[in-house]
Amino acid sequence: MNIAKVVVDVPSSQTNRLFDYKVPAHLRDMIKPGMRVIVPFGPRKIMGYVLRLASDSQFDKLKYITDTMDVTPVLTGELLELGKWISEQTLSYYISAYQAMLPQVLKAKYKKELHRLTEEELPENLEKLFAGRDFLAYEEFIERKGNLGLLQKAIQEGLIEVNYLVKSRETKKTETMLSISKEPILIEQAIAELPKQAVRQKELLSQMLEMDGPVSQKELLSRLHTTRSSLKPLIDRGLITEFKQEIYRNPYQDENYPRTTALPLTDQQEAAIKPVHKSIEENEHEVFLLHGVTGSGKTEVYLQSIQSVIDKGQEAIVLVPEIALTPQMVQRFKGRFGSKVAVLHSALSAGEKFDEWRKIQRKEVQVVVGARSAIFAPFENLGIIIIDEEHETSYKQEDHPRYHARDVAIHRGKYHACPVILGSATPMLETYARAQKGVYRLLTLSKRMNNATMPVVHLADMREELHAGNRSMFSRQLKEAIEERLAKKEQIVLFLNRRGYSTFVMCRDCGHVMECPHCDIALTYHRNSERLKCHYCSYEERMPNKCPECESKTIRYFGTGTQKVEESLTKLIPQARIIRMDVDTTRKKGSHEKLLNQFANKEADILLGTQMIAKGLDFANVTLVGVLAADSLLHLPDFRAAEKTFQLLTQVSGRAGRHSLPGEVVIQTYTPEHYSVEMASQYDYENFYRKEMGMRRSFHYPPYYYLSLITVSHSNQVKVMEVTKKIVQFLNNKLSAQTTILGPTPSPLTRIKDRYRFQCMIKYKNEPDLRKTIRKMLTIFEEDTKQNDLLISVDMQPYQLM
Ligand code: ADP
Ligand code: ZN
Ligand code: ZN
């Protein structure tokens, strides 16, 4: 086995294959699949992943692997296979798929360092190289011809560790610890026998006796205002032992999480968990859709399923949307499983993330809770995968490789023969349709805990407000409801949707929105040209100066920001104490948590915020939720706009009255009659589903049709247009007559960083060779993309149509 098959770090279609390299003798027993290596490639040396080892190659003149970057594999066999599958599904390069699976620290070209973990004697060769130091640059180890076999063994035995240098503060941290190495009585005797002037030494010993257990050297010395010189003789005499201990930069200190135990399940929960337990017990893969209203106890079902997985000696992955990865959510998992849980959160530093990842790799934890990329946790004995709020679009990566975590979860679930639970109060239409067809198994929690009722939702018609002379952004109903809560010392959450403002045009008098006559999609306002454009089919028209429905002149584009809302709220109700939570106020690390804590401690009456407050928050004292502009989401140029509105309104409403106090919701809208607003106000998922499926059927959208989106960008607008046109022609010739190709049309974001963007959308029902055809198209333009800085990106499952 002296040939290694390597995927090299050169993302291009010619290099998107395996390259053979010879393994040099000194690395022969050491290199394994899943390790990163350095290989010569043309004039350069680059990184690559070893996919497999073989005993021969069909090529003769092979080059040698230069060096290995890892001493233990960073990707498991399963993940190597998975990466291949992802790259095929998403039409991305193998290398991009593998890179997506690893923490940042392992992706960049960081320097490597060997780090001694013990004072224990190392094999001679290594001891010589370390020469009394704790750290040894890996380069030096190689230059001085260190023995890799010995090193590998020392690493396996936990004597040495490979450390990646990011910035000094982000690398792994260790600390010198001290402990008493003799019976207490002998120490006391030693204290008595010490000469009188050895005051410091006596103090050190008595302090350590008192503290009983390992202490950090730094802490001890600073506490006693002394230096290492007083400590040294005690170590030399064998009274105190020193050793190194890794300090995980654990942002989630376990002792901060009071432990919880399993709650007795309700009948509904019991019925839901039973088939899951069965699937765990019998190692049978099945996908469950846990459809449970907000507050119905889905999380408890997750927790108890995970418990039986742990009891079986297996591991669990839990995905939650980035914005729902709140301290409260983390608390529920840490509270139940303590130090068995690793948390992967984008707010962690690169070093912290690496620490958490390493706990998974070393099997020090059995559960990982994290956002999208946690789906790649290198567990080897998975017993369950859970995706909470499965409808969230953040599970789709919007960059290469454009994978959806749900697909990856199901793929891994099949491999491990374990259940996958998709949970949501408002499942994505595609998911619910699959459950209806029996592809997924539907589990339902229709009741809230303690039979609490869902909060009553009032729709405030903003057109009427305008007619009544109220020009503020608060309806009279919402204002009164706020004042009522203030008087009762109850709390309020006000929600403003930030996304998509200023893009659609609406009449404030009658609520009429300008839509594309061909696509049932809101037209997008382009300020420069004063025109309205459809981003699906390129239809356009002039910005009207009066409403085509009612002739009113109040027709205009729509939008407002949180800061503006805060100002006018302060004017309207000066006594209200407001916490504003948006991208601006939460930029600093930890500020998110701080603001939520302030609100929980009732230091404010109103929490005003964007998407980030829509999910996962659970405050007992919140009895009113206000949604300021329900329409801003409804008219995004996206065929999922109605679905997203329904989901968001349902989520937001779920924030009120979760405990003993009854809740109330006020939704302000210009279109209270729109089915998604109306049905969300009645929590009527079933009817919404039926109505929306009808729309999707008539306009040929998913789940009835599949979509693929091709986006072309270049600095020259004419060029972009021409290339897109050629692509459309090419596809039209190759694809079946039942398939529609929309475009070329400008992308909703027509120019980003001085690059013009055009797109075309493929709508199809059955195109078994579509991926092949698109790959072919990409090779046709390969030269052009390389020579002329043209970019063609393909999304086989677009969610974000901007
Ligand atoms: P969901 O995840 O469906 O929104 P949660 O899991 O947050 O619902 O449950 C809502 C509340 O009900 C939580 O405070 C939770 O602790 C509590 N709860 C869940 N299951 C039970 C149970 N079986 N008995 C008592 N309380 C429960
Ligand atoms: Zn009008
Ligand atoms: Zn259109």
> How far is ligand 2, taken at its centre, from the CA of residue 546, in Å?
8
The closest-lying atom of ligand 1 relative to the alpha carbon of residue 449 is: 12
Q: Using a 6 Å CB cutoff, which residues line ligand 1?
A: 263-266, 269, 292, 294-300, 449
Give the domain extent around 84. 3-108
Q: Please report, for the domain that includes residue 87, its CATH number.
A: 3.40.1440.60
User: Same domain for 337 and 441?
Assistant: yes
Domain-located, residue 258: no
Average pLDDT over residues 138-144: 80
* Alpha-carbon gap, residue 373 to 396, rounded angstroms: 10
Q: Is the pLDDT of residue 442 over 90?
A: yes
User: Percentage of residues in the chain with pLDDT exceeding 70?
Assistant: 93
> Of 246, 279, 295, which marks where a domain is finished?
246
User: Same domain for 221 and 322?
Assistant: no
User: Same domain for 551 and 565?
Assistant: no
Pairing of strands 555-557, 505-507: antiparallel
> How far is ligand 2, taken at its centre, from the CA of residue 10, in Å?
55
Ligand nearest to the backbone CA of 514: 2
Q: Is the pLDDT of residue 375 over 90?
A: yes
Q: Is the pLDDT of residue 782 over 90?
A: no
Q: Is the pLDDT of residue 355 over 70?
A: yes
Nearest residue CA, atom 24 of ligand 1?
Answer: 263
Q: Is the pLDDT of residue 615 over 80?
A: no
Q: Is the pLDDT of residue 168 over 50?
A: no
Contact 670, 462 (CB under 8 A): yes
Q: Is the pLDDT of residue 434 over 90?
A: yes
Q: Is the pLDDT of residue 324 over 50?
A: yes
pLDDT for res 637: 77
pLDDT for res 322: 78
Domain-located, residue 255: no
> Of 640, 664, 695, which marks where a domain is finished?
695
The model's confidence at residue 169, banded by pLDDT at 50, 70 and 90, is very low
> How far is ligand 1, taken at its centre, from the CA of residue 481, in Å?
27
* Alpha-carbon gap, residue 140 to 279, rounded angstroms: 52
Give the count of domains, the chain. 7
pLDDT for res 167: 40
pLDDT for res 298: 95
Testing ligand 1's pocket by substitution, the residue of 263, 270, 300 carrying the most ligand atoms inside 8 A of its CB is 300
User: Same domain for 131 and 216?
Assistant: no
* Structure tokens, 615: 């999910």
Model's pTM, two decimal places? 0.79
Contact 216, 176 (CB under 8 A): yes
User: Same domain for 645 and 689?
Assistant: yes
Neighbouring residues of the ion ligand 3, judged by CB less than 5 Å: 516, 518-519, 534, 536-537, 539
pLDDT for res 151: 85
The model's confidence at residue 24, banded by pLDDT at 50, 70 and 90, is very high
pLDDT for res 108: 63
Domain-located, residue 672: yes
pLDDT for res 533: 83
pLDDT for res 280: 97
Nearest residue CA, atom 10 of ligand 1?
Answer: 295
Contact 571, 539 (CB under 8 A): no
pLDDT for res 654: 78
Neighbours of 436 (CB within 10 A): 13
Give me the residues paired with residue 493 across strands.
Answer: 607, 625
What number of CA atoms fall less than 13 Å from residue 66's CA on the CB side?
Answer: 12
The model's confidence at residue 146, banded by pLDDT at 50, 70 and 90, is confident
Which of 234-238, 545-549, 558-562, 712-716 has the weakest average pLDDT?
558-562
The closest-lying atom of ligand 1 relative to the alpha carbon of residue 293 is: 3
User: Same domain for 747 and 680?
Assistant: no
> How far is ligand 1, taken at its centre, from the CA of residue 369, in Å?
18
> How far is ligand 3, taken at its centre, from the CA of residue 518, in Å?
5
More confident residue, 689 or 615: 689
Domain-located, residue 679: yes
Ligand nearest to the backbone CA of 508: 2
User: Percentage of residues in the chain with pLDDT exceeding 90?
Assistant: 49
User: Same domain for 625 and 736?
Assistant: no
Testing ligand 1's pocket by substitution, the residue of 296, 426, 449 carrying the most ligand atoms inside 8 A of its CB is 449
The model's confidence at residue 672, banded by pLDDT at 50, 70 and 90, is very high
Ligand nearest to the backbone CA of 516: 3
> How far is ligand 1, taken at its centre, from the CA of residue 269, in Å?
10
The closest-lying atom of ligand 1 relative to the alpha carbon of residue 654 is: 4
Q: Please report, for the domain that includes residue 646, its CATH number.
A: 3.40.50.300
Average pLDDT over residues 734-745: 92
> How far is ligand 1, taken at its centre, from the CA of residue 401, in Å?
36
User: Same domain for 513 and 480?
Assistant: no
Instruction: For residue 723, give the DSSP letter.
Output: H
Mean pLDDT of the chain: 87
Span 203-214, pLDDT tens digits? 888 888 887 777
Greatest Cα pair distance, the chain, in angstroms, is 101
Domain-located, residue 701: no
Phi, psi of 268 (to 5 degrees): -65, -45
Residue with token string 């003769």: 60
Domain-located, residue 261: no
* Structure tokens, 333: 């998992």
Give me the residues paired with residue 64 across strands.
Answer: 22
User: Same domain for 61 and 147?
Assistant: no
pLDDT for res 222: 79
Nearest residue CA, atom 4 of ligand 1?
Answer: 295
Nearest residue CA, atom 25 of ligand 1?
Answer: 263
Q: Is the pLDDT of residue 165 over 80?
A: no
Q: Which of 417, 471, 183 is nearest to 286 (CA)?
A: 417
Phi, psi of 235 (to 5 degrees): -65, -45
Give me the residues paired with residue 173 across strands.
Answer: 247
The closest-lying atom of ligand 1 relative to the alpha carbon of residue 292 is: 3
Q: Which of 32, 108, 96 is nearest to 65 (CA)?
A: 32
Span 585-614, pLDDT tens digits? 777 767 877 888 899 899 999 999 877 776
Average pLDDT over residues 31-60: 91
pLDDT for res 350: 80
Q: Is the pLDDT of residue 492 over 70?
A: yes
**Sequential DSSP letters for 437-499:** TTSSEEEEE-S-GGGPPPPEEEEEEHHHHHHTT--SSS-HHHHHHHHHHHHHT-EEEEE---T
The model's confidence at residue 659, banded by pLDDT at 50, 70 and 90, is low
The model's confidence at residue 501, banded by pLDDT at 50, 70 and 90, is very low
Q: Is the pLDDT of residue 326 over 80?
A: no
> How far is ligand 3, taken at its centre, from the CA of residue 540, in Å?
8
* Alpha-carbon gap, residue 100 to 408, rounded angstroms: 12
User: Same domain for 239 and 305?
Assistant: no
More confident residue, 145 or 87: 87
* Alpha-carbon gap, residue 779 to 795, rounded angstroms: 16
The closest-lying atom of ligand 1 relative to the alpha carbon of residue 332 is: 16
Nearest residue CA, atom 20 of ligand 1?
Answer: 297
pLDDT for res 135: 81
For CA atoms 411, 414, 417, 422, the dihedral sign is positive
Nearest residue CA, atom 18 of ligand 1?
Answer: 297
Nearest residue CA, atom 19 of ligand 1?
Answer: 297
> How far is ligand 1, taken at its centre, from the CA of residue 563, in Å?
34
pLDDT for res 52: 96
> How far is ligand 1, taken at its centre, from the CA of residue 450, in Å?
9
The model's confidence at residue 109, banded by pLDDT at 50, 70 and 90, is low
CA distances from 164 to 91, 347, 351 (A): 31, 20, 9
Span 515-568, pLDDT tens digits? 888 777 788 787 777 888 887 777 889 999 999 999 998 888 765 667 778 888
Ligand nearest to the backbone CA of 660: 1
Which of 487-491, 655-659, 685-689 has the weakest average pLDDT?
655-659
Average pLDDT over residues 350-378: 92
User: Same domain for 568 and 441?
Assistant: no
* Alpha-carbon gap, residue 511 to 527, rounded angstroms: 21
Give me the residues paired with residue 176 across strands.
Answer: 244
Q: Which of 802, 797, 800, 799 is nearest to 707 (CA)?
A: 797
* Alpha-carbon gap, residue 799 to 784, rounded angstroms: 28
Domain-located, residue 252: no
Instruction: For residue 227, give the DSSP letter.
Output: -
More confident residue, 116 or 389: 389
Give the 3-state secondary structure of 388-409: CCCCCHHHECCCCCCCEHHHHH
> How far is ligand 2, taken at its centre, from the CA of residue 499, in Å?
24
pLDDT for res 669: 93
More confident residue, 248 or 300: 300
* Alpha-carbon gap, residue 691 to 435, rounded angstroms: 17
> Of 108, 125, 150, which marks where a domain is finished?
108
User: Same domain for 19 and 162?
Assistant: no
CA distances from 49 to 60, 76, 107, 163, 253 (A): 21, 12, 12, 19, 35
Which of 12-16, 211-215, 252-256, 666-670 has the weakest average pLDDT?
252-256
Ligand nearest to the backbone CA of 335: 1
* Alpha-carbon gap, residue 276 to 479, rounded angstroms: 46
Domain-located, residue 802: no
The model's confidence at residue 11, banded by pLDDT at 50, 70 and 90, is confident
Assign 3-state DSSP to the chain and report helix, strand, coil percentages, each to 5: 40, 25, 40
Q: Is the pLDDT of residue 182 over 50?
A: yes
pLDDT for res 333: 94
